[in-house]
């Protein structure tokens, strides 16, 4: 693989890292990508997909399938704990999930398609916003201008620290969990701390809700064995010793293998909140956030990835179980045949979302070679 191209992609990755932007505000990131892609003469660049999203389209001489490769534009609301020269300039925002590296890998395809045109079909390089909040993919798909880009197959990769560098982890069917966030508020009535009987405290209801939600996966036979409820935040009353509480807030994440089971979990959660609030004479409200569909790898798309990875010299490991984390690539696989695969980032690499994480540049040529082999095998036949 061209050493100058890899050097250019590492430079791009570090520039993206330096200009990290949060979900829904990726304008500078999008601009950097457009400037890079413009060097390699795509047939067109479509912007404004679900916000800052964009796509570069490459067309070739003969009719054939459309292959789409997706990367993510957004960074995380995490303060970077690194001191290297390209550390994030943004306050409390940094690339701690490797999206800068994913963008660099997909962008490398632009150079290769420009210098080595394939025989047929189309290749679309898609950069979507707001992956971390679960809102970006559906926003892109619902954009009017996306309809002309509809793919025959859509592919994505995600780096996985703790796995041997370059190992491809893959699974047909459910690859990663569905999940959603639930915010619950309980309204009662404050009172003097010496006379709590004069108020309506949400304390007992809050404790009951947390306990029942936490136990839900173990107590419900209609949920799968891997269903998980995580209490991520709780607040009761105010920071004062003189007032009995009248307000409580709970935030919880529900996750499981399938979208159908997630709907059951949501229904049970609502029942738990409603019953506890009624018993405590409280006003209850709830809202849903960060909704992710399960990523469901199509068998044909997964087999395409397997062949490409093996042809690129990478080991492929079949997963027995889905990953418990969520990825909004599931919105694409719900609509189009597709596959997402994990790419080992090294045994000693820091975990995703840790403040000192940095995408390993050694993955750029590996990921690029796999994606290029997908194109070569499917569009040069």
Do residues 138 and 331 make contact, with C-beta atoms less than 8 angstroms apart? yes
Average pLDDT over residues 204-210: 98
Are 312 and 369 in a shared domain? yes
Are 204 and 250 in a shared domain? yes
Say yes or no to pLDDT of 263 above 80: yes
Are 271 and 331 in a shared domain? no
The predicted-structure confidence for 51-87, as pLDDT tens digits, reads as follows: 999 999 999 999 999 999 999 999 999 999 999 999 9
- The model's pTM is 0.94
Are 270 and 328 in a shared domain? no
- In the structure encoding, which two tokens stand for residue 288, read together? 């849903």
Query: Could you give phi then psi for residue 119, rounded to 5 degrees?
Result: -80, -35
Helix (H) or strand (E) holding 101: helix 99-115
Q: Which residues pair with 233 in a beta bridge?
A: 251
Position with higher pLDDT, 218 vs 182: 182
The predicted-structure confidence for 113-149, as pLDDT tens digits, reads as follows: 999 999 999 999 999 999 999 999 999 999 999 999 9
Are 259 and 351 in a shared domain? no
pLDDT at 194: 97
- Give dist(CA 81, CA 87) in Å, integer: 9
Given 291, 318, 338, which residue is the final one in a domain?
291
Four-point Cα dihedral 295, 270, 181, 345, nearest 10? -40
Range(s) of the domain holding residue 188: 178-291
3-state SS record for 119-162: CEEEEEEEEECCCCCCCHHHHHHCCHHHHHHCCCEEEEEEEECC
Are 59 and 156 in a shared domain? yes
Q: What is the CATH number of the domain that holds 268?
A: 3.30.70.360
Given 248, 275, 291, which residue is the final one in a domain?
291
Please tell me the total count of domains within the chain.
2
Are 26 and 139 in a shared domain? yes
Are 65 and 168 in a shared domain? yes
- In the structure encoding, which two tokens stand for residue 192, read together? 């003097």
Burial grade of 255 (CB within 10 A; 0-12, 13-18, 19 or more): buried
Whole-Å CA distances, 264 to 69, 187, 194, 260, 278: 33, 26, 42, 7, 21
Given 268, 291, 314, which residue is the final one in a domain?
291
Say yes or no to pLDDT of 1 above 80: no
């Amino acid at each position: 693989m061209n050493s100058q191209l890899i050097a250019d992609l590492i430079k791009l990755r570090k520039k993206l890292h330096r200009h990290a932007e949060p979900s829904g505000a990726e304008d500078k990131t999008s601009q950097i990508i457009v400037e890079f892609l413009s060097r390699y003469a795509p047939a067109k660049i479509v912007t404004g997909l679900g916000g800052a999203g964009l796509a570069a389209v490459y067309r070739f001489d003969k009719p054939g399938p459309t292959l789409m490769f997706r990367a993510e534009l957004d960074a995380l609301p995490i303060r970077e704990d690194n001191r290297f020269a390209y550390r994030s300039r943004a306050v409390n925002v940094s690339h701690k999930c490797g999206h800068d590296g994913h963008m660099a890998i997909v962008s490398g395809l632009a150079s290769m398609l420009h210098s080595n045109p394939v025989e047929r079909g189309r290749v679309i390089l898609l950069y979507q916003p707001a992956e971390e909040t679960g809102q970006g993919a559906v926003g892109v798909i619902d954009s009017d201008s996306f309809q002309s880009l509809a793919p025959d197959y859509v592919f994505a990769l995600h780096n996985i620290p703790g796995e041997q560098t370059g190992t491809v982890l893959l699974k047909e069917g459910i690859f990663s969990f569905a999940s959603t966030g639930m915010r619950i508020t309980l309204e009662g009535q404050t009172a003097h701390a010496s006379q709590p009987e004069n108020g309506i405290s949400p304390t007992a209801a809050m404790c009951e809700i947390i306990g029942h939600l936490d136990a839900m996966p173990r107590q419900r036979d209609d949920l799968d064995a891997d269903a998980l409820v995580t209490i991520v935040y709780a607040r009761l009353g105010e920071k004062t010793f003189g007032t009995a509480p009248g307000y409580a807030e709970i935030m919880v994440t529900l996750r499981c293998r399938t979208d159908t089971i997630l709907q059951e979990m949501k229904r049970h959660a609502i029942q738990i909140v409603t019953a506890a609030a009624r018993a405590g004479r409280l006003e209850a409200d709830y809202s849903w956030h960060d909704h992710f569909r399960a990523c469901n790898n199509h068998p044909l798309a997964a087999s395409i990835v397997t062949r490409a990875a093996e042809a690129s010299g990478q080991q492929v490991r079949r997963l027995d179980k889905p990953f418990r984390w969520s990825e909004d690539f599931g919105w694409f696989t719900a609509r189009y045949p597709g596959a997402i695969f994990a790419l080992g980032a090294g045994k000693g690499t820091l975990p995703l979302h840790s403040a000192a994480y940095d995408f390993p540049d050694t993955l750029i040529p590996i990921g690029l070679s796999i994606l290029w082999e997908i194109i070569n095998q499917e569009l040069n036949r």
